[in-house]
Amino acid sequence: MDPSRPLRRRVAVRTVDALVVGGGPAGAVCARELVCAGLDVIVADQARFPRDKPCGGWVTPQVFSTLGLDPEAYARDHVLQPIHALVTGRLGGRGLLTRYERPVSYGVRRSEFDHFLLRRSGARVHEGYRVRELRRAGDLWIVNGELRAALVVGAGGHYCPVARALGEGTGPEPVVAQEVEFPLDAPTAERCRVEPGVPELYFCRDRKGYGWAFRKDAFLNVGLGRQDARGLGHHVREFVAWLEAGGRIPPGLPRLRGHAYHLYPSARRALVADGAVIVGDAAGLAYAESGEGIRPAVESGLLAARAAVAAGGRFGRERLAPYRDAVEARLGKRGRPRRVPAGLETVANLLAGPLLSSPWFTRRVVLDRWFLRTSQPALA
Ligand SMILES: Cc1cc2nc3c(=O)[nH]c(=O)nc-3n(C[C@H](O)[C@H](O)[C@H](O)COP(=O)(O)OP(=O)(O)OC[C@H]3O[C@@H](n4cnc5c(N)ncnc54)[C@H](O)[C@@H]3O)c2cc1C
């Protein structure tokens, strides 16, 4: 051996049936279904769990049904805040209270919820493992030069390396948002007028998004999302100052963290490729009207896994195409004219007028139809 030549690290290449990149709700649910079907699955996530994810943590009941998860059982060991009422209004204006007789949604802490789903998946998890490079070799993907997989599931959220490797496509700007969640001690909780289980949603006056304040048990979550990245910080500061001045939240909010994601109708991300399916935020699947992304993440993870299992070990693009068809059957075809508004901005536009002070419109259209999607049953 020539001692002057640098030693190259000898990497043991490992082959699995499926590598799921990203252990959020989309990846965890997909992995669980693949494991149940007998596939050898690894979930790789750059984070170590429990990890936080900027999010309101609002979960609709259909998610629990699809997961086959009893909310009461989950609540035994985790924060689960039932939602019985909501306040809606325009930023700077008065809020309208809409009450329901039973819980219409729940609040979770993403650090807990995502950890729970990932453990429940039964897959082997490589935490703190960042996927940097994907290469196609014959019928396999080679990841970081050391993992080989017949199927790669792109579940890495908005910045998913699999979605990037397949080409992101050009499209409108994503929704940008900032959020913070923190525990309230007893004296601070006394000075918080946002009630547990009664989220407050306020639409921006310039009609490009909305902010929220949401109390889950002893935790307060505050954030704001917009379809226009310009001046996001300014809008967030204005919103927080307004909430504080009105005594809705206690002063001295911790620093908010930002994130981005695409809404389904305007996203241009691929759903399938040879040996690959893209799920959740990586595919840009969030609902246009509300920005809800956990339900489409869970549903797409399940649908992708079902299509992969049905493909019987041969994962060519055509054999995975039923996944794309199933997503389109639930969310509609991209690029088609829609009967409902196409994004947060359009919703905020509609709501800027007198409609938002109409109790009927707020309950039946804004909440039941757009935010709770009561007319769309859970994915079985
Ligand atoms: C501020 C904000 C508030 C929101 N509020 C709500 C809400 O209240 N309700 C709701 O339903 N939706 C909400 N959403 C949307 C929701 O958070 C997302 O749609 C949802 O998290 C998507 O899940 P996912 O599994 O696709 O991706 P994620 O939850 O983002 O998970 C992706 C995972 O991939 C990992 N990853 C990324 N890159 C790599 C890499 N290179 N290598 C390895 N791992 C990687 C990450 O560490 C992460 O764990 C909100 C979004 C934002 C930004």
- The per-residue pLDDT for range 28-55, each reduced to its tens digit, is 999 999 999 999 999 999 999 999 999 9
Distance of CA 124 from the midpoint of ligand 1 (Å): 20
- What is residue 38's three-state secondary structure? coil
For the chain, report the end-to-end CA distance as a whole number of angstroms.
Answer: 61
Write the pLDDT tens digit of every residue in 119-140: 999 999 999 999 999 999 999 9
pLDDT at 228: 87
Atom of ligand 1 lying closest to residue 296 CA: 19
Give the dihedral sign, CA 240/245/247/252. positive
Measuring from atom 27 of ligand 1, which residue has the nearest CA? 157
66 pLDDT more than 90: yes
Distance of CA 241 from the midpoint of ligand 1 (Å): 27
Measuring from atom 51 of ligand 1, which residue has the nearest CA? 55
Atom of ligand 1 lying closest to residue 281 CA: 26
337 pLDDT more than 60: no
Instruction: Note the pTM of the prediction, 2 decimals.
Output: 0.94
Write the pLDDT tens digit of every residue in 187-229: 999 999 999 999 999 999 887 899 999 999 999 999 999 988 8
pLDDT at 111: 97
Q: Ligand 1 pocket by C-beta < 6 Å: which residues?
A: 21-27, 44-47, 51, 53-58, 130-131, 155-157, 159-161, 177, 179, 223, 225, 259, 261, 280-282, 286, 291-295, 297
Q: What Cα–Cα distance (Å) separates residue 49 from each residue in 52, 91, 118, 235?
A: 8, 35, 9, 31
Measuring from atom 41 of ligand 1, which residue has the nearest CA? 131
Prior bond to 50 cis, omega within 30? yes
pLDDT at 170: 60
Distance of CA 24 from the midpoint of ligand 1 (Å): 6
Distance of CA 350 from the midpoint of ligand 1 (Å): 28
Measuring from atom 21 of ligand 1, which residue has the nearest CA? 294
Burial (CB < 10 A; 0-12, 13-18, 19+), residue 359, is exposed
Q: Which amino acid is at 370?
A: W
